[in-house]
Structure 1
Amino acid sequence: MIEYKTTQQIEAIGIAGALVRRTLDAVRDAAAPGVRLTQLDDLAHQMIRDGGGVSAYIGYHPSWAPSPYPKVLCVSVNDVIVHAIPDASRLKKGDLVSVDLALLVDGWCADAAITFAVGTASAADQRLMDSTRAALAAGIAAAQPGARLGDIAAAVGSVIRAGRFGLLAGHGGHGIGTSMHQEPHVANEGKPRRGLKLKPGLVIAIEPMLQAGGRDDYRHCKDGWGVRTADGSRAAHFEHTVAITESGPLVLTA
């Protein structure tokens, strides 16, 4: 069932989105050589509590996962694409770090992700990040009232394929609102003018996940949650929560 939101409910998701953004910015600023991934998670946990939020991740247990998720962040480094549990490993100069965060404030959920380099990014990593941001921007621009989900998928996918990058097969964005994952699925590749018609009140997360090696397949990490590139190439992930409004897409996690 697809959940459409009122203007007031979209504003409430925006409050959660602002806390997501502040927390992600703080995590990025704290990331430095020698910092443990668990320290970043602890920082995010404190900021969520201080901001009146509740983690959408802790205790989340989809059918495919081996156990409930234990942390407030997903922190995926280098060839890990998404969903990695923060552990005690330390960041190193040159690492490429993707951080994904979803939380609720007063029962409304927002979700976003960023990728950044520890120190100065290599030219290849910068191109990967820039292309992932461009794919996200293209998807948001296509999220117009009266358009269709396929228009978003086609816009995202065209940027990915033009850059000769791979995408994460079988994964994409999703509806969001009173829970983190709702209908509809928001694919990162598809045909325009196909699928659900976008109506005001629909709120979705758009999240391209690019693989530098050009392949779409992946393998699971030992924790059973994280997924990494099958060829060992690096990955990047950017995400925003976006509301469809009468006047166009409204980014709620900017």
Structure 2
Amino acid sequence: MMKQVPDKNILLFKSCLVSVEYPGIESSTKFVFDKIGIDYEISDKQTCCTGLGHYSDVFDQFTTTAIGARNFKVAGNLDRPNLVMMCATCYAINKKVANILNKKDNVRDKVNDVFDKSDLKNLKYEKGDVDSSKNIFHVVDILYSKRDEISKNIKYDLSDYTIATHHGCHYCKVHYDDTIGGVRDPNIIDDIIEACGCKTIGWYDHKRQTCGSGFRQRYSNKDISMEVTEDKLHSIKDDGVEILVH
């Protein structure tokens, strides 16, 4: 059953990795959203989700949860309860945070106590302020729900290229129940590409394999991390892939 995906009252969540390392992702996301009529806003009050630090064991879960609760209140105060992530790590972390805040009263109380003792006295996270399944999405969810509209805006024919897809682990391997298009053979990006008038090679050896990043692994087991990345790249090379869509 297709989950309900919003097209308005959206806070487009800024990402450290996207906005700083790959700013073209943010600018192109806004460009496409404007083209297909998505109602969104970006807030300078929103902070990092702590993803890189959290998965590298620098930020503990409570700190990440408190920061997430604050970001949720930023969205709520803008009357934009739907948070859309450009980064799969932001997506996974914020969905987990929402679940913790809604299911663990003691954690929610502790977060609100932190707010009370800081300059955030005007903030109080109430149970259910953000629902992980109904209010937190990835950009790819929005694009998938609007793929028919996207198909009307195609200007360049890329159908002669050999195209494959890579679905991020933090999108399709963390919150299984909310993943559109399946987790064993993820195809949400493939379907969007098809709406653009192109075909992908579909399933290929190592399609579900991680890119090798693994945050913590990049630092503690760099050689293994790079071997996994190399293995993935060899797999797509063997299939003659010219474009890999993430």
Same fold (TM over 0.5): no
**More helix, by proportion:** 2
More contact order relative to length (CA 8 Å, sep ≥ 6): 1
Q: Whose radius of gyration is greater, 1 or 2?
A: 2
**More strand, by proportion:** 1
TM-score, length of structure 2 as denominator length? 0.29
TM-score, length of structure 1 as denominator length? 0.28
